[in-house]
Structure 1
Amino acid sequence: MHTDTAARHRTTLGEFLKARRALLRPEQAGLPGHGLRRVPGLRREEVALLAGVSTDYYLRLEQGRERNPSQQIVDALARALRLDDEALAHLRRLARPVARRRPAGTGRVGPQLLRLMNGWSGTPALVVSGALDVLALNPLAAALYSAFAQPRNLVRMTFLDPAADAFHRDRSRAARAAVAALREAAGRDRDDPRIIELVGELSLKSRAFAELWARHEVRGKTGEAKLFHHPQVGDLDLHYEAFAVRSAPGQQLVVYQAEPGSPSADALALLAGLAAEAAPAADAGTVTEPAEPADACTVTAGAAGRPAWNAVRGTLP
């Protein structure tokens, strides 16, 4: 492994330990919390005590001077830091030697998956990459995100698009979830150039992103409730589930649904009707995606100020 890359990986492990140590209050770890404390969260010696390792060894881990902690030590550190299952899995990945990364995929969404999404006229569905780039949307998902000028990346949309303030009824929660999902993806492939580029851009352009990224919180994009406000149909309380696309490693299919019989289900049905009316006859019912690659796409204005989507037959360059 190149020396600079190895050093960066060791630093990532140390940064994760330091950040999670700062998030844990002494009383949460069963330690007395009184007295003057010069650091937020736990001291290094307290983590070392809880994990059953020497303070010097733990210091070397945080400083990146110790490269290969055993699985037993990693698990002991996870218990000391009260990590949940996803954070433990992330820590284990950071502690492993980094294998030679496989060539990145092309971002191609398979035609069979596109046809499947096309059949869900009442269900918003989209395909995202590990960096949460939007690779494809079905018509209802395009209508759901129509308030955004460039719906090309879910994290950029949350932090850099002014429409996010009105769209996310709990933007703080949405922001934390987006960063935690990106952090989980970064742990799976620490040399992914797209993730490195995206994190660099967002760290420069968004102080809120930089602060959340520094917390090293980890949560994969699996499923949870989302609270949206759509400019045409109002409030939408939706639940999403994310499924790994086994035929295209790194891609995820994200599907939204509303509780049957709820006001959100009625609003989603109304949005589906509006999307069908607005779609050009030639493109009706066709899965769409931004016309350019996920890192440089543009969306042109359509009727009534809504984005106009270009039909695709299945690939990103």
Structure 2
Amino acid sequence: MDSDNRLGAFLRARRQQVSPEEFGMAGGGQRRVAGLRREEVAMLAGMSADYYVRLEQGRDKHPSDQIVAALARVFALDDDGVAHLRELARPAPRRTRTPRRPERVTPSLLRLMRTWTDTPALVYGRHMDVLAATPLAVALNACSVPGVNQVRMVFLDPEARNVFPDWPTIAAETLAALRVSAGTDLDDPRLTELVGELSLKSDDFRRLWAKHEVRAKTAGEKRFAHPLVGELALSYETFAVNGAPGQTLVVYHAEPGSDAEQSLALLGTIDTAPASSPVAH
């Protein structure tokens, strides 16, 4: 995972995804590799080519705030990408790693979720392991079953491509969110195990992970294809769980009066799980 030169790996990945044509440069078949050349990035960012090469090669790992801002502009990074680049340029000192306690959802949050009988909602941890879910979320799709790792499910379960009509978008967003959650702590044993497994088993995972996309899931719309009630387009909102670093609450909802609202209500009536209790891992 390029653990010895994380900044260089990020810069190299982002450079390869910038189209030369965006800056009026010749592209197409005239280039042996995709994206910008190193000297072109340096020119656009207002620095020497030698210095940029040192950054990519890991011979200089702490660029100034001005350099970070210039590179973010060239690579058109959004707020999450800029924050990640700054973390890579100013990593926190490594501390002695102590075993983390198993992630658990607090009883108070479980009590709150127990009242959401008509709402698909779930809580996942720092590595996107589902920790708890309402029965309606479990009925909606297998990626919300407590104990499931959403990243592994998306990339290794063939059924995921049927559940998510927009699978390529879902896959890219899932990895971008995982990188946000992981931050710069890529030595985390659980993350190392997960990335290693998926890199061996999924070509799509390797390709998308190499892009170093960083983007938090905050809100949006997701389409589900359910075998009993058909396709549902649901909006979602995410919330960081205060007091439980790394935990995220995801709540889905349908547009009032929409077909999705009716389908969700129908799904609730045919769900066999107890409607009054959230499922916890």
TM-score by length of 2: 0.93
Aligned alpha-carbon RMSD (Å): 2.1
Q: Which runs of 5+ in 1 are unaligned?
A: 1-6, 291-317
* Deviations 1:225-261, CA, capped at 9 Å, x for gaps: 1011011111010111110001101100010111111
One-letter code of the match for 2:14? R
User: Is residue 88 of structure 1 aligned with residue 79 of structure 2?
Assistant: no
| Structure 2 residue 257 is the aligned partner of structure 1 residue 261 | yes
1:256-278 deviation digits (Å, cap 9, x = unpaired) = 11111100000011111112xx1
- Residue 36 in structure 1 maps to residue 30 in structure 2: yes
Opposite residue 110 of structure 2, the aligned amino acid is L
Q: Which residue of 2 aligns with 1:128?
A: 124
Match among 257, 276, 281 for residue 285 of structure 1: 276
Check conservation: 2:146, 2:280, Cα contact below 8 A: no
CA distance in 2, matches of 1:52, 1:105: 46
Deviation of the 1:189 alpha carbon: 2.9
8 Å CA contact 1:29–1:80 kept in 2: the answer is no
Q: For 1:106-145, list aligned pairs within 5 A.
A: 106-145=102-141
- For 1:17 and 1:147, the matched residues in 2 are separated by 32
- Aligned residues of 1:151 and 1:157 also touching (Cα < 8 A): no
- Kept in 2: contact 1:147–1:230 (CA 8 A): no
1:222 aligns with 2:213: no
Aligned equivalent of 1:178: 174
Which residue, out of 17, 21, 28, partners 1:23?
17
- Structure 1 counterpart of 2:264, which letter? L
Residues matched between the structures, number: 279
Pair 1:93–1:213, CA change in 2 (3 A): same
CA distance in 2, matches of 1:147, 1:188: 26
The aligned amino acid for 2:43 is L
For 1:225, what is the secondary structure of its paired residue? strand
1:63 aligns with 2:57: yes
Task: State, as a whole percentage, how many aligned pairs show the same letter.
Answer: 56
Summarize the Cα distance change of 1:167–1:34 in structure 2 as closer, same or farther, 3 Å threshold: closer
Show structure 2 runs of 5+ residues with no match.
Answer: none
Moved more, 81-90 or 132-141: 81-90
User: Cα 1:10–1:146, aligned 2, differ >3 Å: closer, same or farther?
Assistant: closer
Residue correspondence of structure 1 range 165-244 to structure 2 within 5 A:
165-244=161-240
How many Å apart are 1:8 and its aligned residue? 4.9
Instruction: Tell me the CA shift for residue 175 of structure 1.
Output: 0.7
Residue 48 of structure 1 corresponds to: 42
In the TM superposition, residue 186 of structure 1 has moved relative to its aligned partner by: 2.4
